[in-house]
Amino acid sequence: MPDSSQPTPWTVQGEDKRVAVRSMFAEIAGTYDRVNGLMSFNQHNAWRAAAIKRLDLKPGESVLDVCCGTGDFLIPAQKAVGESGRVTGIDFCEPMLRQAGPKLNGAARLSVADACALPFASAQFDAVTIGWGLRNVPDMPLALKEMARVLKPGGRIAILDMARPRGPLGPIIEKVTQSGLPMLGKLIGKSSAYTYLPKSILTFASREEIAKRMEEAGFTNVRMKDFCFGNICLHWAERQ
């Protein structure tokens, strides 16, 4: 049972959110991949593959994965840019990063860093990805600006995250998602983290707001595509 007197990632903002989110991911790092598979009916890698396809990566290009967690976005990125390419992942939660290393054959550069203060010079990367990370950062406009800053002009971005299902069946699908996730959390004994997930979906920016924020941060030609009955949305665009 979560202690209601403790700050939780869904009751705090700013620096407090950063601390609460990091400790929540540290707690679930060991089971994260397994639960991702269960929650997505093993579709999560297909969604990442669809995002990588939209980036149209070429051999030799450089990719940064922000909020890379256990590294599952870096795997298809690495494949797409080949041995002559460069893939880099950052995450502020060391236990999550520790899970990523062994999957990437030592070929990716991984570092502990914050999405709102990327430790890279400007115009370094051909493409940036962020999967299920934007919802968690304490300052989304700043994180988007940082991703635009480190991209070369014309560089591409792909953002995957949870979304609120739309259309006539939207409310029913949302109800199933909202009640199913905490139940799964209870089953695996990580109640707090899987209470946060549905709550964070309800308070996260809409697809349109994300697109607007992307444009304000310096991206152009923003497009979007839904997956999983609208529970997941991919945004992709180019840096001006």
Ligand X SMILES: C[S@@+](CC[C@H](N)C(=O)[O-])C[C@H]1O[C@@H](n2cnc3c(N)ncnc32)[C@H](O)[C@@H]1O
Counting contacts by CB under 6 A, is residue 148 touching ligand X? no
In whole angstroms, how close is the CB of 156 to ligand X at the nearest point? 17
Residue choice 28, 61, 72, 165 for contact with ligand X (CB under 6 A): 72
Q: Is 150 in the site for ligand X (CB under 6 A)?
A: no
Give the range of 51-59, 128-136, 149-157, 232-240 binding ligand X by CB under 6 A. Answer: 128-136
Q: Which is nearer to ligand X, 120 or 240 (CB)?
A: 120
What DSSP string runs through the chain?
A: ---TTS--TTT--HHHHHHHHHHHHHHHTTTHHHHHHHHTTT-HHHHHHHHHHHHT--TT-EEEEET-TTSTTHHHHHHHH-TTSEEEEEES-HHHHHHHGGGGTT-SEEEE-BTTB--S-SS-EEEEEEES-GGGSS-HHHHHHHHHHHEEEEEEEEEEEE----STTHHHHHHHHHHHHHHHHHHTT-TTHHHHHHHHHHHSPPHHHHHHHHHHHTEEEEEEEEEGGGTEEEEEEEE-
Question: 137, 148, 151, 217: which one contacts ligand X (CB under 6 A)?
Answer: 137
6-25: contacts with ligand X (CB under 6 A)? 18, 21-22, 25
> Quick one: which of 91, 126, 146, 174 contacts ligand X (CB under 6 A)?
91
Q: Measured from the CB of residue 29, what is the shortest distance to ligand X in angstroms?
A: 8
Size of the site for ligand X (CB under 6 A): 22
Binder among 63, 81, 88, 92 for ligand X (CB under 6 A): 92
CB of 72 to ligand X, least distance (A): 5
Q: Between 28 and 151, whose beta carbon lies closer to ligand X?
A: 28
Q: Taking contact as CB under 6 A, which single stretch among the options 51-59, 86-94, 119-127, 199-207 is the one that binds ligand X? A: 86-94
Q: Is 145 exposed, middle or buried (0-12, 13-18, 19+ CB in 10 A)?
A: middle
68/83 Cα distance (integer angstroms): 20
Binding site for ligand X (CB under 6 A): 18, 21-22, 25, 67-70, 72-73, 91-93, 96, 114-116, 131-133, 136-137
